[in-house]
Amino acid sequence: MSGRGNWQGGEGMSFDVMIVGIGGQGTILTSNILGKACVIEGIPVRGAETHGMAQRGGSVESQIRIGQQYGPLIPPGTADLLLSFDLMETVRAVHWLKENGQIFTSQEFVVPTSVFMQDYPAPDEHMLLEMLDSRKYKMIDCHQIAEEAGNLLTQNIVLLGAASPEIPLKRESIEKAIRETVPQKTVDINLKAFDMGIEAGKSD
Amino acid sequence: MVVHYLLGNEAIAHGCLEAAVDIVCGYPGTPSSEVIDTLRMDPDRAYKVEWSVNEKVAFEEALAASWCGLRAICTMKHVGLNVAADPLMVSAYTGAKGGFVILSADDPFAHSSQNEQDSRCYSLFARIPCLDPSTLQEAHDMVRDAFALSEEFSLPVLFRPTTRICHSKSDVDMGDVKKSDRAAFFDKDSRQYVVIPAHTRILHQKLNQKQPIIKKRLIELGYNRYEIKGKAAVICGGVGASYVREVIGPDVSLAVIGAYPVDEGWLAGFIQKHDKILVVEELSPVIEEIVRQVSGCVLVYGKKSGHVPYEGELSPERVAHYLTAAGIATSVRYEEPQKPAALPNRPPILCAGCMHRTAMYAMKKVFRDGIFPSDIGCYTLGIQLGTVDTTICMGASITIASGMSLAGDARDIVCTIGDSTFLHSGIQGLVNAVYNGANITVVILDNRITAMTGHQPNPTTGLTACGVSSPPVSLEAICRACGATFVETVSPSDLTTFLNVLKKAKATMGVKVVIARQPCVISEKRSKTNRGKYAVRQESCIGCKACIKFGCPAIELRGGLAAITDLCSGCGVCVQICPVGAIGREVKE
């Protein structure tokens, strides 16, 4: 176990990441990996997440503040990075980002059941991308890459891999945190997914 | 000391272990549940853990353990403390022997609650100490030390974390787990434990005499502290103190209230060194009331001046805004963020294959103009299906139904209540309804688990908190013992039979109990039950949307026709709903 206090960001400063998706997509697991990586590096960290009934297929968010020593909540309009497992949730969460904040988003999205029940027009990919406006985003085909890595459940790790060069944590620390977090027998597949995610993040 | 990245509730659980807790009881409730869920999973435990049937039961058991000289904690959400309020008020008189901690988790913004009550008010009401952590580290340290504080004053200690403590994460410094060497022994003393008037008058006096000593001690222990830096000051408590620290200007004084009761003289000393005070706290103006009592001519801003709201939760940008509005310097400035995009909402929804949806769908079919009182559980999501007309608190579905029957509304009254909620506080309402001749239908949605709070076992499950088998209680026998003569058990996935039972209930006078029994789909998934999936034969679908209106998240509309997604859990109810037989078993190509 490491000590504390290697963070260079200064008092009250942190690198703030919003992780959003739909209940069950692995937002909490992803934020746990970042949290553990901070502990490995001896950096203070704060996180906030959605628990309870909201997880039943609803919009969920995990906030994680790397280097933060005070509260767990990110003020809207100040997040440095947005990770999203659903393109529609990306649009819903974009106001959390600071002006030049970076977005890494899954290409896929699930249309809420209420849209069908109430006969609303369902949004399509083109519409959603248009709503991102001038934001800098990188769209990753997490489904395809996770399938290639060998398990569809690694989509969150693929996206984390793609975004990881933007995150002020060492690659080794994140990889170590993945090993400590995911089920033992899925470690190799997750590390592969992480690797493939990094590669996918480099391409345009 | 070891640093780990922990959930607040995990840190609290570890604090209990460092205090060598003996007895842990509670009733699940967001955001408190993971404290026991963490402790009950420990295979090496030297303590006893129990999910009790309700908070009053949990409280009284933990109190009894304390009277036997053991260290005990009972956990609940804030509204659970209402259920346990009866023993709470008197336990302050009888006092505690072994350390007794009451964890009542508050939920500012009602993330998953029916109200935003403030547990601190209970500690003032009962006159017991209350600890209110502002960080996860503090939550861990406070609960660890709360047992000793309880022993020092022979009083129960209320520990009050909030959602952003319980469900936040942080690096937390943890100490070693300690094993208890205490043995239970109840030392009889009727003057202490039998609160007849002659005894209770004296006990009340003793309780009041303890107060000034407690106030001083809470300052000595560093729970209530301040730092003077200028002529303006912020006084804050709870997680709000973290937000204040994040945004406060360098020349502003800061007092943090981490424990109650607050020593008024000490607080007045701080206030009088300043020209202007802003009080920042979530929910009730507990600190502000005390500040205003002793502030004299010093200007005080807070809820009562309209600067800080009474409701909702705080955040760094909100706190910065209140400081600015009160003319107090901040260290950061937040721009007005852009408005969130206009998108269809994605509220939580009953799972694909959930029996609550089927049961409520059938209720709506049979009791078209019915009134549907409901209760607290996943099935409250049935509001989206039009079968939840009221919810107020645990167990109130049956009593609201019988009250409407008593009032004489002539429509069919059909209430829904889950298995755990029925055992928590539904039974008394059923006895009362039957005995007093109500005309209602009670649908017990029995999925054999306390699902909404994270799948805690209850007495219908057949397992205790620690996974030991125990014979499940018979809901049928309980209902019959309550006097109900119409008690029918049926699985909602057999839609036709379920509809027939509801029709029979509609045609019968009196209290009709329908037990809708089917295991929770999440429990089934975890036990690797695989019923296969269903699919829509596109060539047969006529696009009538009957299945879409059922509202299952596994059914979507593609080009005007229904389609079933990977979320399908194979309940087969949509097959029974489709009027043209277009849905069948998925055929793998």
Q: Residue B270 sits in a domain of what CATH number?
A: 3.40.50.920
- In a mutagenesis test of the B interface, which of A39, A46, A92, A113 is the best target, namely the one with the most B β-carbons within 10 Å? A113
pLDDT of residue A6: 43
Report residue B517 as tokens. 């029994």
State residue B257 phi and psi, 5-degree precision: -100, 110
Give pLDDT < 70 ranges for chain A: 1-12, 52-55, 204
Show which of B220, B242, B265 is a domain's final residue. B220
Summarised one tens digit per residue, pLDDT across range B410-430 is 999 999 999 999 999 999 999
Q: Is B476 helix (H, G, I), strand (E, B) or coil?
A: helix
- Which positions 79-98 of A are in contact with B (Cβ < 8 Å)? 88-89, 91-92, 94-96
Name the pairing type of β-strands B100-105 and B72-77. parallel
**Domain shared by B457 and B508, yes or no:** yes
The pLDDT tens digits for B133-179 are 999 999 999 999 999 999 999 999 999 999 999 999 999 999 999 99
| Mean of per-residue pLDDT scores for chain B | 97
Rounded to whole angstroms, the Cα distance separating B420 from B445 reads 9
Alpha-carbon distance of B445 to B197, in angstroms, equals 44
- Based on the fold, state whether residues B259 and B215 are members of the same structural domain: no
Q: In terms of residue numbers, what domain contains B49?
A: 2-220
Q: What is the pLDDT of residue A55?
A: 64
In a domain, B306, yes or no: yes
**pLDDT tens column, B479-531:** 999 999 999 999 999 999 999 999 999 999 999 999 999 999 999 999 999 99
CATH classification at residue B519: 3.40.50.970
Instruction: Give chain B's largest Cα–Cα span.
Output: 83
Main-chain dihedrals φ then ψ at residue B153, nearest 5 degrees: -105, 5
Give B-chain residues touching A18 at CB under 8 angstroms: none
CB B395 within 8 A of CB B424: yes
A contact test, residue of B171, B314, B333, B450 with most A CBs within 10 A: B171
Task: Report angle CA A13, B143, B279 to the nearest 5 degrees.
Answer: 55
Supply B88's token pair.
Answer: 């709470």
Enter the DSSP assignment of B514.
E
Mutate to test the interface with B, among A90, A108, A116, A133 (most CBs of B within 10 A): A116
> Cβ B346–A58 below 8 Å, yes or no?
yes
What's the pLDDT at B332? 93
CB contact under 8 Å between A123 and B317, yes or no, is: no
The pLDDT of residue A118: 84
Residues of B with CB below 8 A from A46's CB?
168-170
Phi, psi angle pair for B445, to nearest 5°: -85, 95
- B339: in domain: no
- Residues B511 and B549 placed together within one structural domain of the fold: no
Q: What is the pLDDT of residue A75?
A: 96
Prior bond to B261 cis, omega within 30? yes
Judgement on whether residues B24 and B117 belong to the same structural domain of the protein? yes
Helical segments of chain A, H only? 27-41, 87-93, 113-117, 125-131, 142-149, 155-163, 171-181, 187-202
Tell whether B338 is covered by a domain.
no
Please, what is the Cα angle at B546 between B537 and A23, to 5 degrees?
85
Q: Which of residues 155-184 of A touch B (CB under 8 A)?
A: none
Q: With an 8 Å Cβ cutoff, are B5 and A39 in contact?
A: yes
Residue A7 pLDDT: 47
CB B262 within 8 A of CB B237: no
My answer on whether B166 and B106 are in the same domain is yes
Alpha-carbon distance B168 to nearest alpha carbon in chain A (angstroms): 4
The answer to whether the Cβ–Cβ distance between A88 and B332 falls below 8 Å is no
- Is B494 part of any domain? yes
Which amino acid is it at B360?
M
**Among the partner residues B112, B246, B553, nearest to A70 by beta-carbon distance:** B246
Question: Is B454 a residue whose pLDDT tops 80?
Answer: yes
In angstroms, rounded to a whole number, what is the distance separating the alpha carbons of residues B285 and B232? 20
**Among B337, B452, B557, beta carbon nearest to A77:** B337
Distance of CA B55 to the CA centre of its chain: 10
CA B45 to CA B27: how far, in whole Å?
20
Our count of domains for chain B comes to 4
**Residue B268 maps to a domain:** yes
Residue showing tokens 């909702």: B312
Nearest to B168 among A32, A36, A72 (CB): A72
| Region for B384 from its dihedrals, namely left if φ exceeds 0, alpha if ψ lies in -120 to 50, beta otherwise | alpha
- ipTM of this complex prediction, to 2 decimal places: 0.94
Q: What is the mean pLDDT of residues B117-141?
A: 98
Say whether pLDDT at B187 is over 80: yes
The verdict on residue B127 lying in a domain is: yes
Residue B360, min C-alpha distance to chain A (Å): 16
CA B553 from chain centre, in angstroms, equals 26
Q: For residue A70, what is the nearest residue in chain B, using CA coordinates?
A: B242
Residue pair A89/A57 in contact by the 8 Å Cβ criterion: no
Residue of higher predicted confidence among B87 and A203: B87
- What is the strand order of the sheet B414-418 is part of? B414-418, B440-446, B511-517, B486-490
Residue A168: burial class (beta carbons within 10 Å; 0-12, 13-18, 19+): middle
Looking at the structure, tell me whether residues B130 and B240 fall in a common domain.
no
- Whether A56 sits inside 8 A of B337 (CB atoms) is no
pLDDT tops 50 at residue B202: yes
* B351 vs A46, A57, A117: nearest CB: A57
pLDDT tens by residue, B354-382: 999 999 999 999 999 999 999 999 999 99
What is the rounded CA–CA span in Å between residue B301 and residue B308? 8
Give the chain A residue whose CA is nearest to the CA of B318.
A75
Are B212 and B239 in a shared domain? no
Domains of chain A: 15-202 (3.40.920.10)
As a whole number of angstroms, the distance between CA B44 and CA B21 comes to 13
Q: What is the 3-state secondary structure of B199-239?
A: HHHHHHHHHHHHHHHHHHHHHHCCCEEEECCCCEEEEEECC
Helix B197-220 crosses helix B85-94 at what angle (to 10 degrees)?
80
Is residue B314 located within the same domain as residue B237? yes
Preferred mutation among A14, A17, A18, A73 to probe B, highest tally of B CBs within 10 A: A73
Q: Do A73 and B316 touch (CB under 8 A)?
A: yes
Give the pLDDT of residue B441: 98
Of B187, B220, B253, the domain-final residue: B220
Mean pLDDT of B375-402: 97
Domain boundary among B306, B325, B344: B325
Give the type of residue at A15: F
| Candidates B341, B454, B552; nearest CB to A94 | B341
What distance in Å separates the CA atoms of residue B527 and residue A40, rounded to the nearest whole number? 35
Same domain, B305 and B253: yes
Q: Report the chain B residue with the minimal C-alpha distance to residue A66.
A: B170
Chain B residues with CB inside 8 Å of A111's CB? 556
Backbone angles phi, psi at B183, to 5 degrees: -120, 140
User: Does residue B444 sit within a domain?
Assistant: yes
Smallest CA–CA distance from A4 into chain B, residue:
B3
User: Band of the pLDDT at B65, cuts 50, 70, 90?
Assistant: very high
pLDDT digits (tens, 9 = 90+) for B307-338: 999 999 999 999 999 999 999 999 999 988 88
The per-residue pLDDT for A12 is 65
pLDDT in tens, A129-188: 999 988 999 999 999 999 999 999 999 999 999 999 999 999 999 999 999 999 999 999
Given this model, what pLDDT does residue B108 score?
98
Q: Residue B344 is nearest to which of A23, A45, A115, comparing CB atoms?
A: A115
Nearest to B500 by CA among B574, B492, B442: B492
Copy the structure tokens of residue B20: 């060598």
Least Cα separation, residue B76 to chain A (angstroms):
14
CATH number of the domain within which B540 lies: 3.30.70.20
Nearest to B350 among A45, A55, A56 (CB): A56
Task: Please check whether residues B62 and B172 belong to one and the same domain.
Answer: yes
Q: How close B112 gets to chain A, by Cα (Å)? A: 7
Are B499 and B576 members of one domain?
Answer: no
pTM score of the predicted model: 0.96
Which of B2, B4, B5 should be substituted to probe chain A, the one whose Cβ sees the most A Cβ atoms within 10 Å?
A: B5
Is A117 in contact with B549 (Cβ distance < 8 A)?
yes
Tell me: do B577 and B478 sit in the same domain: no
| B-contacting residues in A 106-145 (Cβ below 8 Å) | 111-117, 120, 122-123, 131
- A48–B168 CB contact, under 8 Å: yes
In a domain, B341, yes or no: no
Residue keyed to tokens 């037990």: B515
